[in-house]
Chains A and B, each alone.
Chain A
Amino acid sequence: MQESMNMEKGVDRGQGRSYRGVLARVGPGRDTWRWLGQQLFNRENPAMYFDPLLESINPLWAQRYIPARVEAIESETHDSKTLTLRPARRWGGFRAGQHLNLEVEKDGRWYSRPFSLSCSPSHWEQDGTITVTIKKVADGEITPWLLEHFEPGDVIGISRAYGEDHTPEPGHPMLFVTGGSGITPVLSQLEAMADRHLRNPVTLLYFVRTDADIIGGRKLEALAERLPNLELRIVAAEQDPQNPDHLGPHHLQAVEGLTERDCFLCGPPGLMKHAQNLLADAGVPDEQISSTLFAVGPGVVVTEDAGGTVHFSRSDITVESAGDRRLLEEAEAAGLNPRYGCRMGICHQCACRKKSGIVVNQQTGQPSGHGEETVQLCISVPQGAVELEL
């Protein structure tokens, strides 16, 4: 079982056409730019220095992130929408099944949230657009706002694509088990199959709560036309509340030649775990199963109490915090030697990158967000699992 949670470099497709690619070949090398940037602007990337002016002339010229113009917004269900984006040309392209981060500023703060691309790479190659499907996370910090805030014509930031390359190969029969918004990377993979005229037998088991929750319905119908060997099984698990139909052995037994299939799982953690066990029981070899956790959002466990598991990622040390010590003290107790100054929240010498998790600022009593940001170790305690770049 492989999980594609680690960040990988984006694909360099489309780079050659950009002015940067040309400049890199005829002009000064990257090292020269970096050196000059340091000398003149105290920055490694001299282009970023011009951002404040470039952005006000044309937001698509920003260098700090990759800008993309919102071309269209379509509703999928009552709580999900598909955004059609046109990234600045320097965006590197992607492979089927990959993800990207949307980088947005809400109320002065920058947030970065992962989403799966829901179209095939040929979209980008042919007309320079991509689609990202967003499902509202109930009580989420960003997704409800994302779905309300943007309109066609706006500019949104995106990262390069990352994650495992799931470009479909000819030959192998395949099985996709997906739930909820986990369908999005599968849409990309199926569309890529259709583009490549592959004839593999494919079964899609797609679990949704009710018929009103089907994401990508139109696209799936169109794909069924283009892929004659696609067997589409959409299960509305809670359509009949008296008679729920959740993933069970009977769904898998109905799949022809199950043990021969390459299986791809994407959905809520519970469903994926369950599917994995059922597949193992049915005798599908481990190396034929791959999964991605990405499409289901960050999966934060929100707790009320202070304390939790603290992972120091650089030194690869994990400690259990009872929540009675500040993070600086936890780090020192774990044998680390982080930089510090006043130890009372004034000087920011101990400020450190938090990769994920929630910390509480004990001076203000305010909890942080769960994404990546800078926190002060000397006045913060963890609230749930936290990962620090230390």
Chain B
Amino acid sequence: MQKLSEEQLENLAQDLDAIRNEQMADLGQKDADYIRGIIRLHRTLEFGGRALMPLGFIPPFFLAGMTSLGIAKILENMEIGHNVMHGQYDWMNDPELNSQTYEWDTICTADSWKRTHNYEHHTYTNVIGKDRDYGYAVLRLEDETPWKPMHLLQFINFINLSIFFQWGVGVHELEFEKLRSGEVTLREKADLLKDVARKGGRQTFKDYVFYPALTFPVAPVVIAGNFGANLIRNLWASSVIFCGHFTEDAESFTEEECENESSGHWYLRQLTGSSNFTGPNWVYTLSGHLSHQIEHHVFPDIPAYRYREIAPQVQAICEKYGLHYNADSFPRQYATVLKRVAAFSLPDRMRERLFPEFNEDGGEPKLENRGNSTSLVSRLRNRVSSTLSAAA
């Protein structure tokens, strides 16, 4: 990982605290108006989408209804739910926007989310073995985890995780890998299992029983439209989240590196373990401002739309300490995510040669590799790289 001296870490913490305090002192009507505006937009899109859906036997209506409901779910999950549960709006003292009582429109219960995401992921960001969000226990994304042949097929996991993302997040805390290894028993997870069933049942009932039944003659159309809306949300949410920590330059950490860490070291880890993507403002809003994952990880409880204006300050701080500020366009960042998933699906020796950019030395070209361009591995590597850049 990128290192700083103790003194630098202390200064880094001071610099970032200063931004934080300035923002916290400035909270007010502007923030309340912003989030209420988003909520109004969400309600309009949701009711609009659900109203259009029964007319879905006419293709343009189907498309409009599905997209409207899909965007509504995206806004609710990412710009409202995720951010409210971080406590970004607790200061408003509005019972509808309270981190302790808010329940969101997805399978995962708010309580489970706050344990695994707010606490585990945000405290132990990218620490292998402690942050289960790093690869969601189904992807191998670094060489700390020993390679096994099943990792060769992890692209299937990746695709499944993207498509069924809300279910993956919903059962995340069940810790299947620990159940399988016997580290925890099903009995210990009984309450959680009940919660998953209750909330999952609720979400399924709403989209696949209640609203279709309400529009009985066209129920199949409504079921299809609701499925499409959930799919849109799942694909977008997973892509945004993958771009936040799984990009090529986002670092992961070992438990030893983080023992008894100072607040400066925690800040350093957030800065180097996260990555941003750039785009127009509406993309930022649709990502719940997780486009600014770096700012979000440094300041998880500042209203997220402020990350846009804080970003240049955070970038300047990174430059001051010689830290890499990992930001690029969405397609480019996503391409490096795919590259990482591909790279670490391979055995280490093969990966080191095919994807030297993931090596400890950052893939500095080695002399012996030069002039070896006709070897099978090199040709393979060139092909993978060019395909990925073309996709980007």
The answer to whether A and B come from one shared complex is yes
Residue ranges of A at the interface with B (Cβ–Cβ < 8 Å): 38-40, 42-43, 48-53, 56, 64, 105, 107-111, 341-342, 344, 346-349, 351, 353, 363-366, 371-374, 376
Q: Which of B97-105, B318-326, B343-351 contacts A (4 or more CB under 8 A)?
A: B97-105
Report yes or no: A107 in contact with B28, Cβ–Cβ below 8 A: yes
Q: A108-B31, A366-B24, A374-B93 are in contact. List 6 more A-B contacts (CB 8 A).
A: A53-B40, A109-B93, A110-B93, A344-B266, A374-B100, A376-B87
Nearest B residue to A38, CB-CB: B202
Report yes or no: A64 in contact with B118, Cβ–Cβ below 8 A: no
Report yes or no: B103 in contact with A351, Cβ–Cβ below 8 A: no
Report yes or no: A42 in contact with B24, Cβ–Cβ below 8 A: no
| Alpha-carbon separation in the docked complex, A374 to B98 (Å) | 8
Contacts of B24 in A (CB 8 A): 364, 366
The verdict on B39 contacting chain A, using a C-beta distance below 8 Å, is yes
- Contact among B29, B91, B202 with A39 in the assembled complex (CB-CB below 8 Å): B202
Cβ of A241 to closest chain B Cβ, rounded Å = 42
| Alpha-carbon separation in the docked complex, A340 to B115 (Å) | 9
| Alpha-carbon separation in the docked complex, A155 to B32 (Å) | 18
| Alpha-carbon separation in the docked complex, A371 to B78 (Å) | 30
Report yes or no: B122 in contact with A108, Cβ–Cβ below 8 A: no
Cβ of B176 to closest chain A Cβ, rounded Å = 22
- Contact among B21, B47, B118 with A364 in the assembled complex (CB-CB below 8 Å): B21
Cβ of A366 to closest chain B Cβ, rounded Å = 7
- Tell me how many residues of B have a C-beta within 8 Å of chain A: 48
Q: A53-B43, A351-B87, A374-B99 are in contact. Are A109 and B92 (CB under 8 A)?
A: yes
Cβ of B210 to closest chain A Cβ, rounded Å = 7
Contacts of A363 in B (CB 8 A): 17, 20
Cβ of A41 to closest chain B Cβ, rounded Å = 8
Report yes or no: A49 in contact with B43, Cβ–Cβ below 8 A: yes
Cβ of A21 to closest chain B Cβ, rounded Å = 24
Cβ of A363 to closest chain B Cβ, rounded Å = 8
Cβ of B101 to closest chain A Cβ, rounded Å = 9
| Alpha-carbon separation in the docked complex, A84 to B386 (Å) | 73
Please, could you name 27 A-B residue pairs with CB atoms under 8 Å apart, sorted by A?
A: A39-B205, A40-B210, A42-B202, A48-B96, A51-B96, A52-B43, A53-B47, A64-B96, A105-B32, A108-B91, A109-B93, A110-B92, A341-B119, A342-B123, A346-B123, A347-B114, A348-B87, A348-B100, A349-B115, A349-B119, A351-B90, A363-B17, A364-B21, A366-B24, A371-B93, A372-B93, A373-B91
The verdict on B36 contacting chain A, using a C-beta distance below 8 Å, is yes
- Contact among A39, A52, A349, A365 with B210 in the assembled complex (CB-CB below 8 Å): A39
Report yes or no: A349 in contact with B114, Cβ–Cβ below 8 A: yes
Report yes or no: A348 in contact with B114, Cβ–Cβ below 8 A: yes
Report yes or no: A108 in contact with B123, Cβ–Cβ below 8 A: no
Report yes or no: A64 in contact with B123, Cβ–Cβ below 8 A: no
Report yes or no: B30 in contact with A344, Cβ–Cβ below 8 A: no
| Alpha-carbon separation in the docked complex, A56 to B116 (Å) | 36
B:14-47 near A, CB below 8 Å: 17, 20-21, 24-25, 27-33, 36, 39-40, 43-44, 47
- Contact among B95, B103, B122, B263 with A347 in the assembled complex (CB-CB below 8 Å): B122
**Majority-rule SS of B interface residues:** helix
Nearest A residue to B201, CB-CB: A39
Cβ of A125 to closest chain B Cβ, rounded Å = 30
Residue ranges of B at the interface with A (Cβ–Cβ < 8 Å): 17, 20-21, 24-25, 27-33, 36, 39-40, 43-44, 47, 85-87, 90-96, 98-100, 103-105, 114-115, 118-119, 122-123, 202, 205-206, 210, 263, 266, 300-301
Report yes or no: B118 in contact with A347, Cβ–Cβ below 8 A: yes
Contacts of B123 in A (CB 8 A): 341-342, 344, 346-347
- Contact among A48, A349, A371 with B118 in the assembled complex (CB-CB below 8 Å): A349
Nearest A residue to B121, CB-CB: A347
- Contact among B94, B103, B119 with A110 in the assembled complex (CB-CB below 8 Å): B94
Contacts of A108 in B (CB 8 A): 27-33, 91-92
| Alpha-carbon separation in the docked complex, A109 to B115 (Å) | 27
Contacts of A351 in B (CB 8 A): 87, 90, 99-100
| Alpha-carbon separation in the docked complex, A231 to B163 (Å) | 79
| Alpha-carbon separation in the docked complex, A347 to B87 (Å) | 8
| Alpha-carbon separation in the docked complex, A351 to B205 (Å) | 32
Report yes or no: A39 in contact with B206, Cβ–Cβ below 8 A: yes
Contacts of B33 in A (CB 8 A): 108
Kindly list the 7 A-B residue pairs having the minimum CB-CB distance in the complex, ordered from nearest.
A341-B119, A108-B32, A348-B87, A42-B103, A110-B93, A342-B123, A347-B118
| Alpha-carbon separation in the docked complex, A32 to B36 (Å) | 28
Q: A38-B202, A107-B28, A348-B114 are in contact. Are A374 and B43 (CB under 8 A)?
A: no
Contacts of A56 in B (CB 8 A): 40
Report yes or no: B114 in contact with A366, Cβ–Cβ below 8 A: no
Report yes or no: B25 in contact with A373, Cβ–Cβ below 8 A: no
Report yes or no: B40 in contact with A52, Cβ–Cβ below 8 A: yes
Contacts of A38 in B (CB 8 A): 202
Report yes or no: B263 in contact with A344, Cβ–Cβ below 8 A: yes
| Alpha-carbon separation in the docked complex, A43 to B94 (Å) | 15
Cβ of B305 to closest chain A Cβ, rounded Å = 13
| Alpha-carbon separation in the docked complex, A375 to B178 (Å) | 34
| Alpha-carbon separation in the docked complex, A349 to B91 (Å) | 15
Nearest B residue to A376, CB-CB: B87
Contacts of B87 in A (CB 8 A): 348, 351, 374, 376
Q: A39-B205, A52-B39, A374-B100 are in contact. Are A348 and B105 (CB under 8 A)?
A: no
Interface core residue of A107, A366, A371, A376 (most chain B CB under 10 Å) = A107
| Alpha-carbon separation in the docked complex, A42 to B21 (Å) | 34
Cβ of A360 to closest chain B Cβ, rounded Å = 13
Contacts of B103 in A (CB 8 A): 42-43
Contacts of B114 in A (CB 8 A): 341, 347-349
Report yes or no: B40 in contact with A341, Cβ–Cβ below 8 A: no
Interface core residue of A50, A52, A111, A376 (most chain B CB under 10 Å) = A52
| Alpha-carbon separation in the docked complex, A105 to B36 (Å) | 13
Nearest B residue to A53, CB-CB: B43
Nearest A residue to B109, CB-CB: A42
Report yes or no: A347 in contact with B119, Cβ–Cβ below 8 A: yes
| Alpha-carbon separation in the docked complex, A372 to B90 (Å) | 12
Contacts of B99 in A (CB 8 A): 348, 351, 374
| Alpha-carbon separation in the docked complex, A51 to B29 (Å) | 18
Contacts of B300 in A (CB 8 A): 346-347
Contacts of B29 in A (CB 8 A): 107-108
| Alpha-carbon separation in the docked complex, A48 to B102 (Å) | 13
| Alpha-carbon separation in the docked complex, A49 to B115 (Å) | 26
Nearest B residue to A65, CB-CB: B95
| Alpha-carbon separation in the docked complex, A42 to B92 (Å) | 21
Nearest A residue to B301, CB-CB: A348
| Alpha-carbon separation in the docked complex, A346 to B122 (Å) | 7
Contacts of A371 in B (CB 8 A): 93
Nearest B residue to A349, CB-CB: B119
- Contact among A42, A109, A342, A373 with B104 in the assembled complex (CB-CB below 8 Å): A42
Report yes or no: A42 in contact with B105, Cβ–Cβ below 8 A: yes
